[in-house]
Amino acid sequence: MIKTLSRTGNSLALILDRPLLEATGIDAETSLEISTDGEVIVISPVRDPAERERFRAVASAVTERYAGVFRRLAE
């Protein structure tokens, strides 16, 4: 998807289409984290820390349970 910036007063705004917002779960109330490496701008929704920790716990359990399978697949 290629977008252009829109002038808003003395600033520039990026307009995000509804399908993109729906796919990422972003709405007008979502806090966004914006970062850059000097070349690329990354915009990410700020997620609940408890949700993030629950995901890490599940990912850790899956990794532990299937470690042998993952090892064989990597070979």
47 C-beta neighbours (distance < 10 Å), count: 13
Query: To 10 degrees, the CA torsion angle through 47, 34, 1, 3?
Result: 140
Query: What's the pLDDT band for 17 if we cut at 50, 70, 90?
Result: very high
Rounded CA-CA distance 25/40 in Å is 22
21-64 confidence digits (pLDDT tens): 999 989 999 999 999 999 999 999 988 888 888 889 999 999 99
